[in-house]
Amino acid sequence: MNEGPSDNLQVLIGADKIHERVRELASQISTDYRGRSLRLIGILKGSWIFLADLIRQLDLDVSVSFLGVASYGRSTKTSGEVKITLDLDDSIEGLDVLVVEDILDTGETFRYLQGVLTGHQPRSLKSVVLLDKPARRTQHVKADYVGFTIPDVFVVGYGLDFSQQYRNLPDVCVLHP
């Protein structure tokens, strides 16, 4: 039984607002890639719920693959070390690729992904993030499509976790310690 958000959770972006924005992003992406095939690459684990909603709104010839990444020093976000935990299962050479991420925070993961994916020689490489938290950026990176720009608060839900919990919340919530 779902007990609902607890006292230390506060809704930042409700499910209805998320779904409306996902539809807008999908419409923009469908327009921009009209007549082309698009490969989505979902970055695990956080992106999978966003990707599942986004892909069903895309009016395009679309395929999907996943890439798992993990960061060291995540608690402090200062190490900037990222490693692949699940690699791509087929070639993306010559494809139009759109990286799908739940959140762009320091940008360390993004910077790493750009290097890795560019090395696979896609035809084009762009990115969509549901949430952008520019206040914490340590790398000079930005996403091509952004759902919501948020302040420097710790968020969970709609795929985002704290110690692997809360990913199932339908809303994006602020987690208060």
Q: Which residues bind ligand PRP (CB under 6 A)?
A: 43-46, 69, 71, 74, 77, 101-110, 161
The least distance separating ligand PRP from the CB of residue 128, rounded to whole angstroms, comes to: 13
Residue among 60 and 172 whose Cβ is closer to ligand PRP: 172
The least distance separating ligand PRP from the CB of residue 83, rounded to whole angstroms, comes to: 11
The least distance separating ligand PRP from the CB of residue 93, rounded to whole angstroms, comes to: 24
Geometric angle at alpha carbon 122, from 120 and 134, rounded to 5°: 90
Q: What is the DSSP string of 51-114?
A: HHHHHTT--SEEEEEEEEEEETTTTTT-S--EEEEE--SS--TT-EEEEEEEEESSSHHHHHHH
Main-chain dihedrals φ then ψ at residue 29, nearest 5 degrees: -65, -40
Residue among 43 and 150 whose Cβ is closer to ligand PRP: 43
**Residue of 96, 105, 132, 171 marked active site:** 105
Q: At a CB cut-off of 8 Å and minimum separation 6, what does 102 contact?
A: 43, 46, 47, 49, 50, 129, 130, 131, 158, 159, 160
Residue among 65 and 106 whose Cβ is closer to ligand PRP: 106
Q: Give me 20's structure tokens.
A: 């409306």
Identity at 76, one-letter amino acid code: T
The least distance separating ligand PRP from the CB of residue 149, rounded to whole angstroms, comes to: 14
CA distance 118 to 112: 10
Is 87 a residue of the active site?
Answer: no
Residue among 46 and 147 whose Cβ is closer to ligand PRP: 46
Query: Active-site residues: which are they?
Result: 105
